[in-house]
Amino acid sequence: MQGIVLALAALLLGWSPVQAATLLPETSPSPTAAPSAAPEIEARQEAGSDQAVSQRISSIFSEIPALAGVRANVREGVVTLTGTVTDAEDKARAEVIASRISGVVTVENQIERDVSVGSRLGVLGTFSEQLTTLVAALPLIAVAVLAALLIAGLGYAIASLESLWRRVTPNSFLAELIASAIRFAFIVAGALVALNILGAGTLLGAVLGGAGVVGIALGFSLRDIIENYVASVMLSLRQPFRPNELVKIEDYEGRIIRLTSRATLLMTLDGNHVRIPNSTVFKGVIVNYTRNPQRSFAFEIGIGVNEDASVAGATGVAALRGLDFVLPEPAPLFLVQEAAASSVVLKFIAWIDQGETNWFKARSQALVTVKNALDADEVEMPEPIYRLRFDPESPLPIKDMEGAEEAAPPPDRRRGSKGRARPVDQDVRPENEVAKMVEEERQATPGKGDLLNPNRPVE
């Protein structure tokens, strides 16, 4: 780990490989080997060894510009470092170098940092050297940039083959997605080649690592956008509906205008536009009313508790069979839905062809027809029932009135003549106004980001 740190420091400070190598340990112990014992200090110092150590340290420092102002005084193996350096790192660096010389017992670091203006201006000399190196490397940089541009241009040329990608993919959205992926891949490849030419492979690894971290952070922050984008791809492949089909997605009901890369555009039955995010469409429940032309409708009618529910139900079913728009198969039927205190609720069910009959009109006319048939058969409709209790000691207001005439029952305007149900004539053909508006809008903007492909099978 120390070697890696020193190597990075050498790279940043502009040391030469020889200078950096002097800071690295000569041998690295094995991870599994036991730590060696500290060397013993000799009892007697050899003659001339202090001077040899001092000369060795001074010769090393003279080769390092940053340590040229450091002096070493050696006595009995104790090295005392004096002088000035520009950076704090150089102070520690000098101590490390001195401690690695053979014969050194310990190091007294008395180096001071020079913070004067004149010493800091020496950095300009280093900057000028770096600028000179950069100018010398301009031809190599030009070659690297040219290689990157050629590779990226090749990627753009391949991605521009729209006719090829449209034949390969089912829709234009996926074709553009493939083209974008090819462009991105070739740009990354060009950057890799350029960095390899410049000898900056280490920098490339750091950039890719940072890009991975940034990508994870962006993935969490843009999760909804990414989810919506992926849902658009899946919907374009699955094709859950066709243009102008009548569908219900969650709480929205209308006809499909188009499927874009961001949302599904509906026109509701009252003529309004609704944009539903594709992530909601992909995860939501889709009811398609157009796929199956047969559709049932149901309604409830209450009758009096004294009426025969079977007879009333048969009368209503016979009235439904007499309607031209009601399909004979499946046949109409009735169910006793509820038997309450003052009414019996009958539920009638019938089927229509949505291609020829409007569902809302058919249900309305069927309800009126069954109601008229029950009235014609003098079937009593339910009326509220109230129970009144009177105190026998208190006189009734009408009881002691003289000449009180018996109140005549109100005329029954509800019932008609027996066996003569009033006919109902209403146009039940389907409404095509919304479908026409959808078709006009699609023709006005043909292929405007529409991912629906009529040539692909529907899910």
Is the model's pLDDT at 268 over the cut of 50?
Answer: yes
User: Confidence class of residue 120 from pLDDT cuts 50, 70 and 90?
Assistant: low
Task: Give the chain's end-to-end CA distance (angstroms, integer).
Answer: 59
**Alpha helices, DSSP H, located in 137-222:** 138-159, 162-168, 172-198, 201-221
Structure-block tokens of residue 219: 């993935």
The residue among 367 and 208 whose pLDDT is bigger is 367
pLDDT digits (tens, 9 = 90+) for 239-263: 888 888 899 998 899 999 998 888 8
pLDDT digits (tens, 9 = 90+) for 10-24: 444 444 444 444 444
Is the model's pLDDT at 52 over the cut of 90?
Answer: no
Structure-block tokens of residue 448: 């405007």
The CATH number fitting domain 2-24+46-116, selected from 3.30.1340.30, 1.20.1050.10, 3.40.50.300, 3.30.505.10: 3.30.1340.30
242-290+431-459 in CATH: which number?
A: 2.30.30.60
Burial 146-166 (b: 16+ CB within 10 A, else e): eebeebbeebeeebeeeeebe
pLDDT digits (tens, 9 = 90+) for 25-48: 444 444 444 444 556 666 666 767
- What is the rounded (10 degree) CA torsion for 260, 263, 264, 266? -120
What pLDDT sits at residue 102? 85
What pLDDT sits at residue 302? 92
Question: Quick one: which H or E segment has residue 2?
Answer: helix 2-13
Lowest mean pLDDT among 92-101, 310-319, 328-337, 410-419: 410-419
Q: What are the boundaries of each domain within the chain?
A: 2-24+46-116, 137-221, 242-290+431-459, 294-376
pLDDT digits (tens, 9 = 90+) for 399-437: 555 554 555 555 454 444 444 555 556 677 777 788 888
Q: Structure pTM?
A: 0.52
Is the model's pLDDT at 384 over the cut of 90?
Answer: no
**Residue with token string 């014609």:** 376
The residue among 161 and 391 whose pLDDT is bigger is 161
**Could you say which architecture CATH assigns to the domain 294-376?**
2-Layer Sandwich (3.30)
Question: Quick one: which H or E segment has residue 338?
Answer: strand 333-339
pLDDT digits (tens, 9 = 90+) for 53-95: 888 888 888 888 888 888 888 888 888 998 888 778 888 888 8
